Amino acid sequence: MLQIMETYRAREQEHLADRMGITVLEASAERVVGTMPVAGNTQPYGLLHGGASCVLAETLGSLGSALPRGPRQDHGRHRDQRPRTTARPRPAR
């Protein structure tokens, strides 16, 4: 578990979570706690943007889901490899 948190903290400052100002305060297999500022993540009306809430939830959820199983070196695919899809293009109408 410690190795995952060290990897998370040591990553380069180029990820969406960093741009959104997300900070992980606590992380264990049972609970992940983080914060994100409202300032800079708002709708034109000044309210927290719903997409920002999703980024916070996905960031903490992904981190929490990785903690119980331990680190994976390949992360499922190579960093430069594009995800494969089985979706087929729809014909033009």
**Highest mean pLDDT out of 3-7, 14-18, 65-69:** 14-18
Q: How confident is the model at residue 56 (pLDDT cuts 50, 70, 90)?
A: very high
Question: Mind listing the pLDDT tens digit for each residue in 72-92?
Answer: 554 555 455 555 556 666 777
Spatial separation of the C-alpha atoms in residues 20 and 12, rounded to whole Å: 14
28: nearest Cα among 4, 64, 69: 64
Q: Is the dihedral of CA 11, 15, 17, 22 positive or negative?
A: positive
Give me the CATH code for the 2-66 domain, please: 3.10.129.10
Spans of all domains in the chain: 2-66
In whole numbers, what is the pLDDT of the chain averaged over residues? Answer: 78
